[in-house]
Amino acid sequence: MLSGRIRGNAVRLGLTAVPLAFFALFFAYPVAAIVGRGLKDTGRWQFGRIGEVLGRPEILDVLWFTTWQALASTALTLVLALPAAYVFARFDFPGKHLLRAVVTVPFVLPTVVVGTAFLALLGRGGFLDELAGVRLDTTVWAILLAHVFFNYAVVVRTVGGLWSQLDPRQEEAARVLGAGRFAAWRRVTLPALVPAVAAAALMVFLFTFTSFGVVQILGGPAFSTLEVEIYRQTAQLLDLPTAAVLTLVQFAAVGAILAVHAWTVRRRETALKLVDPAQTARRPRGAGQWALLGGVLLTVLLLILLPLGVLVERSFDGPGGHGLGFYRALRSAEASGSTFLVPPLEAVWNSLRYALVATLIALFVGGLAAAALTRRAGRLVRGFDALLMLPLGVSAVTVGFGFLITLDEPPLDLRTSWILVPLAQALVGVPFVVRTMLPVLRAVDGRLREAAAVLGASPVRVWREVDLPLVRRALLVAAGFAFAVSLGEFGATVFIARPDNPTLPVAVARLLGRSGELNYGQAMALSTILMLVCAVSLLLLERIRTDRSGEF
Amino acid sequence: MLALESATVRFGGRTALDAVDLQVAEHEIVCVLGPSGSGKSTLLRVVAGLQPMDGGRVLLGGADQAGVPVHRRGLGLMFQDHQLFPHRDAGANVAFGLRMHGAGRAERESGVAELLDLVGLPGAGRRAVAALSGGEQQRVALARALAPSPKLLMLDEPLGQLDRSLRERLVVELRTLFGRLGTTVLAVTHDQGEAFALADRVVVMREGRIAQTGTPLEVWQRPASAFVARFLGFDNVVDAEVTGTVADTVWGKVAVAEGEWQGPCELLVRPAGVRIGAPRDGLRCTVEARTFRGHHVSVLLRPERGPVLEAACALRDTPQEGAAVGVTFDVAETVVLAPAGEPSGK
């Protein structure tokens, strides 16, 4: 019997070893190497540099801006998205499923596309500029709105998902006991929702705190987040010590945010009585509820559909009237001058290929990690859980640059290998795979596995016959997210994608970095293609997704 | 068939199974009875190999099962809440064990049809698990456990989640079925009615130890201790000092049978042995409450001294609430409960 226990531990160790090795080699090592290179001088650690860098006024400005724009973005997102969470949870109306999918599209869109879309809407010569002479692209509003656009779905899905499963009879019980409508909501529903709201707010804060693509495109010279500053210091000023210090600062901040997030998630697991969401939704009643629904629809229209619509419109709006001019130009390398060595359209195939490989890697590593985490949760396991989330927040720029300086000698000389890009993209995909799979795997009743074992199924057979069929949908959803995230990865890819093999986001950024109407138009066209690829993969997912599949 | 030798399981500081010895013979139906937390489910999990032991041995057909993994033990286990696989239909659930044992398609199909017939669900093979009622799920779970022809079938609270009338019908069906198939059964339950109706032999457990074992009749007639008596629902238990055929209690002198344990002990009078008469006869009591139980009325009596008494009365003999009555005790319904660890007189 004792041997069974030992065998169980060995299995767990084996499952954990692959993800750990993956993270050690392709995450911890490159990041540590960059930090080491920045902070070490002639073989000695120069920790004094930390204080020195953090004392510089321009760095303090960056820190201050990063923090307050993240706070403002989070607050704005909550204000705009919480009513939508309520509407999606409690109301039944035609087109609800489609609308839910539409709302989710921005979340899987590459940051570069989001930046481009808002540039087309709010920028120079943009939609609002032509319409009313209003330009917001050099103000902080463009950044905040783009962040809301991007994170709207996080709040709607995390909070709305739980809200739709709260038993309305709890509120009814409070009403019968004498509580008014608002009092019942405040005393019964709100306390049940608080952990979900906190978890969603923290995720939004995390994403906006580490924002890169959006700020890079919309921020101009005036606004710079930590991540953008790290990129500037690394790629343009070649000031590695400053970049290393900033990486450490971001690392500490992200670690703190994730720790708080893990804590709220654990609190969320406290037993709530959940019911089938289909039973809690009903048609809106009365003018007030219809007005609320209308308001949410209007928000979605203005905030989400309008920017995407304008982006598509701009991509067709060539010098000689509407047409496919920009798309045609994508087919040749010469059209955009010396920006590309290959026709930009090749980036589409590069991206798809890379994303596919990255998805497979992420599924393999993330799947093993999720399987390891399913088995009995201890303190160590929870630490492992938090570790897997780190790539979501740690500077992708640092990871990308770290790849270049660490994976360049045998036995791991990958500098010239195409696999470098998918490896970096898979790093961001793994947290999504784990987050999507884990709740479903944990929800599989352990006694189902025991029942199969008693009926004669060996452990491997149990996994194949019980776990796999039950998590198949979650696995597909995880694959879809990993695919979309890999497709849009920008911060790391921008360093490691070779000039003759650009990915879509890298190509878009390069086009936007050049002047001229043709480059601008081609960027719009390429972004539209990227948006379509992401949106289609998401809409496919939406058809198979279950409400249980995780947090995103 | 099955033998447990000082099986011991500890969860942290708590001992769930404390050196339990238990034998189950071929074709025997043994029911382990105990309150929740008495270790009865742990017992099943130990036999199945789902729960590692801290000491002791499990033998199946004489072979030590240490190191034999769950799926090679050839047992059947019906879980408390069935644990049917939600992603397979009823037929595929039943076929699962056959598939694991390498049965071919034709063999599986005939086996499934036969078993669904046997449990009274002919033609239900294609139905989704979620579409089955509680009683039907229970039958499918039984068919699934029986399908690979296990050496020993184990049932964990087999009827626990069903309503009363269904439970009473199913328990009879189960016993008939097991008798016909010659299945060896080890069941656990907290419901004494279920255990007595199902089992050839009852094992009462308390805090990880066996408190009593015997046929249902033996256990019912002669509970081995105050714990067993109270667990069976008998609350008329009082401290006593037995000398010869007389027990001295706070309720007065009570006659006991010959050859009983002598000295300080506890005494049980079953409600049917509490005779209600005129106030001047025997122990004076006041009627506190009456509860209608169908074929009799349960009367709660407050004696002038000592703990409350429960009496079972025929409907027409039931006194009014608040009435003063006299109580005498029937020697045939009186049981001397020897102190723990001592053999009782008979």
Tens of pLDDT, residues A14-44: 777 888 888 888 888 888 888 887 777 767 7
For B63, the token pair is 């072979």
How far is it, in rounded angstroms, from Cα A284 to Cα A301? 20
A465 contacts B75? CB cut-off 8 A = no
pLDDT digits (tens, 9 = 90+) for B101-153: 888 899 999 999 999 998 888 988 899 888 888 888 888 999 999 998 898 99
Helices (H) and strands (E) in chain A, counts: 27, 6
Is the pLDDT assigned to residue A483 strictly greater than 60? yes
Is the pLDDT assigned to residue A272 strictly greater than 60? no
For B159, the token pair is 């009827």
Q: Say if residue B148 is in the same domain as residue B49.
A: yes
User: Has residue B173 been placed in a domain?
Assistant: yes
B100 contacts A457? CB cut-off 8 A = yes
The stretch A323-336 carries a mean pLDDT of 69
Which percentage of chain A shows pLDDT scores above 70? 86
- Average pLDDT along chain A: 79
**Do residues B299 and B344 make contact, with C-beta atoms less than 8 angstroms apart?**
no
Q: Say if residue B275 is in the same domain as residue B188.
A: no
ipTM for the whole predicted complex goes beyond 0.90: no
**Do residues A279 and A92 make contact, with C-beta atoms less than 8 angstroms apart?**
no
B144 contacts A455? CB cut-off 8 A = yes
CATH number of A56-313: 1.10.3720.10
Q: Report DSSP state, residue A44.
A: E
Note if the bond before A502 is cis, omega within 30 degrees: no
Q: Say if residue B25 is in the same domain as residue B112.
A: yes
Low-confidence ranges of chain B (pLDDT < 50): 345-346
For the ranges A177-186, A426-435, B317-326, B335-344, the lowest mean pLDDT is seen at: B335-344
User: Has residue B324 been placed in a domain?
Assistant: yes
- Topology of the domain covering A9-43+325-552: MetI-like fold (1.10.3720)
Nearest alpha carbon to residue A360 among A201, A491, A475, A235:
A475
**Do residues A299 and A80 make contact, with C-beta atoms less than 8 angstroms apart?**
yes
Q: Say if residue B208 is in the same domain as residue B318.
A: no
pLDDT digits (tens, 9 = 90+) for A494-550: 888 777 778 888 888 888 777 777 777 888 888 888 888 887 877 777 666 544 434
* A95: CB partners within 8 A, 6+ apart: none
Nearest alpha carbon to residue A240 among A413, A379, A40, A57:
A40
Q: Say if residue B83 is in the same domain as residue B131.
A: yes
How far is it, in rounded angstroms, from Cα A526 to Cα A371? 38
Three-state secondary structure readout of chain B: CEEEEEEEEEECCEEEEEEEEEEECCCCEEEEECCCCCCHHHHHHHHHCCCCCCEEEEEECCEECCCCCHHHCCEEEEECCECCCCCCEHHHHHHHHHHHCCCCHHHHHHHHHHHHHHCCCCCCCCCEHHHCCHHHHHHHHHHHHHCCCCCEEEEECCCCCCCHHHHHHHHHHHHHHHHHHCCCEEEEECCHHHHHHHCCEEEEEECCEEEEEECHHHHHHCCCCHHHHHHCCCCCEEEEEEECCEEEECCEEEECCCCCCCEEEEEEECHHHEEEECCCCCEEEEEEEEEECCCCEEEEEEECCCCCEEEEECHHHCCCCCCEEEEEECHHHEEEECCCCCCCCC
How far is it, in rounded angstroms, from Cα A432 to Cα A429? 5
Give pLDDT, residue A509.
82
- Average pLDDT along chain B: 88
* A8: CB partners within 8 A, 6+ apart: A375
Of the candidates B52, B66, B76, the beta carbon closest to that of A5 is on B52
Nearest alpha carbon to residue A143 among A218, A75, A209:
A218
Is the pLDDT assigned to residue A6 strictly greater than 70? no
Residues of A (426-455) whose Cβ lies below 8 Å from B: 445, 447-448, 450-455
Q: Say if residue B268 is in the same domain as residue B147.
A: no
Give pLDDT, residue B187.
94
Count other Cβ atoms within 10 Å, centred on residue A222. Answer: 9
Query: What is the Cβ-side half-sphere exposure of residue A145, based on CA atoms within 13 angstroms?
Result: 23
A453 contacts B50? CB cut-off 8 A = yes
pTM: predicted TM-score of the whole model, two decimal places: 0.72
A469 contacts B83? CB cut-off 8 A = no
Of the candidates A1, A458, A466, the beta carbon closest to that of B85 is on A466
Cα A63 versus chain centre, distance:
22
Give pLDDT, residue A5.
55
Q: What is the DSSP string of A254-307?
A: HHHHHHHHHHHHHHHTS---B--GGGT-B---HHHHHHHHHHHHHHHIIIIIHH
For A521, the token pair is 């138009």
Q: Say if residue B80 is in the same domain as residue B215.
A: yes
Q: Say if residue B67 is in the same domain as residue B109.
A: yes
How far is it, in rounded angstroms, from Cα A1 to Cα B56? 11
Give pLDDT, residue A337.
57
For A286, the token pair is 């009365």
- Residue where one domain finishes, among candidates B207, B226, B245: B226
**Do residues A342 and A333 make contact, with C-beta atoms less than 8 angstroms apart?**
yes
Bridge-based pairing state of the strands B152-156 and B324-329: unpaired
Q: What residue segments make up the domains of chain A, in order of their start? A: 9-43+325-552, 56-313
> Quick check: A469 contacting B, CB < 8 Å?
yes
Give pLDDT, residue A341.
62
* CATH code of the domain covering residue B286: 2.40.50.140
Give pLDDT, residue A367.
85
How far is it, in rounded angstroms, from Cα A498 to Cα A478? 28
How far is it, in rounded angstroms, from Cα A52 to Cα A241? 10
Q: Which residues of A touch B87 (CB under 8 A)?
A: 469-470
Q: Is A5 exposed, middle or buried (0-12, 13-18, 19+ CB in 10 A)?
A: exposed
Of the candidates A447, A458, A465, the beta carbon closest to that of B83 is on A447
Give pLDDT, residue A402.
83
User: Has residue B345 been placed in a domain?
Assistant: no
- Residue where one domain finishes, among candidates B191, B226, B261: B226
A450 contacts B71? CB cut-off 8 A = no
Of the candidates B52, B69, B79, the beta carbon closest to that of A451 is on B79
* B227: CB partners within 8 A, 6+ apart: B206, B211
A454 contacts B76? CB cut-off 8 A = yes
* B224: CB partners within 8 A, 6+ apart: B204, B211, B212, B337, B338, B344
For A480, the token pair is 């879809």
Give chain B's domain count: 2
Q: Say if residue B90 is in the same domain as residue B139.
A: yes
A447 contacts B79? CB cut-off 8 A = yes
* Site from A1, A465, A470 to mutate, B interface, most B CB atoms within 10 angstroms: A1
Q: Please report which helix (H) or strand (E) contains residue A438, including its range.
A: helix A420-443
How far is it, in rounded angstroms, from Cα A540 to Cα A534? 10
Give pLDDT, residue A132.
75
Q: Say if residue B240 is in the same domain as residue B196.
A: no
Domain of residue B41: give its range.
Answer: 2-226
Q: Say if residue B210 is in the same domain as residue B109.
A: yes
Residue with more model confidence, A356 or A488: A356
Question: Which residues are registered as beta bridge partners of B302?
Answer: B286
Is the pLDDT assigned to residue A104 strictly greater than 90? no
How far is it, in rounded angstroms, from Cα B175 to Cα B152? 15
Is the CA virtual torsion A504, A508, A513, A518 positive or negative? positive
* CATH code of the domain covering residue B196: 3.40.50.300
- Residue where one domain finishes, among candidates B226, B245, B260: B226
For B82, the token pair is 């069935």
Our CA angle for B126, B76, B210, nearest 5°, is 140
How far is it, in rounded angstroms, from Cα B334 to Cα B314? 19
Is the pLDDT assigned to residue A98 strictly greater than 50? yes
Give pLDDT, residue A508.
82
- φ, ψ dihedrals at B222, nearest 5°: -130, 75
Is the CA virtual torsion A101, A103, A108, A112 positive or negative? positive
* A469: CB partners within 8 A, 6+ apart: B87
Q: Which residue of B has its CA nearest to A5?
A: B52
How far is it, in rounded angstroms, from Cα B108 to Cα B91? 10
**Closest chain A C-alpha to B88 CA, distance in angstroms:** 10
Between the alpha carbon of residue A440 and those of residues A345, A432, A469, B93, the distances in Å are: 39, 13, 11, 21
Nearest alpha carbon to residue A440 among A413, A471, A397:
A471
A to B CB pairs, distance under 8 Å: 76
**Do residues B211 and B337 make contact, with C-beta atoms less than 8 angstroms apart?**
no
Residue with more model confidence, A414 or B29: B29
Q: Say if residue B266 is in the same domain as residue B314.
A: yes
User: Has residue B252 been placed in a domain?
Assistant: yes
